[in-house]
């Protein structure tokens, strides 16, 4: 999982909202977002869509990591605790299954400073190539 696919490097939406791609010491790419004013909802915490995008982009990286194109088939996300202004949220990816046409991943969004669980995302990918 060392080379990031070109279509993931050129993801304009994740770039526009400030998502960073991080190569972790365990050999995996993951994603990170520092919560800024633009990410806040009316309650003053990180908007669910921003957090979903962070997890979804991590899912895309993981499910496309072997050079085969994969697209999302089904995703779910449970929001556990709020992310505050200034928090850095990092996506921790765990591959559950990778088959010929279907792959499944679990992604924990955690506060990088405190390790508090922010959200839990599960994604099933369909491998098209």
Contact 36, 89 (CB under 8 A): no
Evaluate if residue 1 carries a pLDDT over 50: no
Please report the domains of the chain, with CATH numbers, ordered by start residue. 6-127 (3.10.129.10)
Q: 16-22, long-range: CB within 8 Å, 24+ apart, which pairs?
A: 17/50, 17/53, 19/53, 19/54, 19/57, 21/61, 22/90
Q: Each residue of 71-126: pLDDT tens digit?
A: 999 999 999 999 999 999 999 999 999 999 999 999 999 999 999 999 999 999 99
Q: Which of 41-45, 64-68, 80-84, 105-109 has the lowest mean pLDDT?
A: 64-68
Which one is predicted more confidently, 39 or 128?
39
Which one is predicted more confidently, 95 or 15?
95
Q: 109-114, long-range: CB within 8 Å, 24+ apart, which pairs?
A: 109/51, 109/54, 109/55, 109/83, 111/83, 111/87, 112/32, 112/87, 112/88, 113/87, 113/88
Evaluate if residue 36 carries a pLDDT over 80: yes
pTM: 0.89
């Amino acid at each position: 999982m060392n080379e990031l696919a070109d279509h993931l490097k050129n993801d304009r939406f994740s770039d526009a909202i400030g998502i960073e791609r991080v190569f972790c010491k365990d050999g995996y790419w993951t994603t990170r977002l520092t919560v800024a004013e633009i990410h806040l909802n009316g309650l003053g915490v990180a908007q669910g869509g921003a957090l979903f995008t962070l997890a979804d982009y991590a899912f895309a990286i993981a499910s496309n990591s072997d050079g085969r194109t994969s697209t999302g088939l089904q995703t779910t996300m449970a929001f556990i605790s709020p992310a505050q202004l200034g928090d850095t949220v990092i996506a921790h990816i765990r591959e559950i299954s990778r088959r010929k046409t279907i792959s499944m991943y679990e992604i924990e969004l955690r506060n990088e400073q405190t390790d508090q669980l922010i959200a839990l995302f599960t994604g099933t990918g369909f491998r098209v190539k």
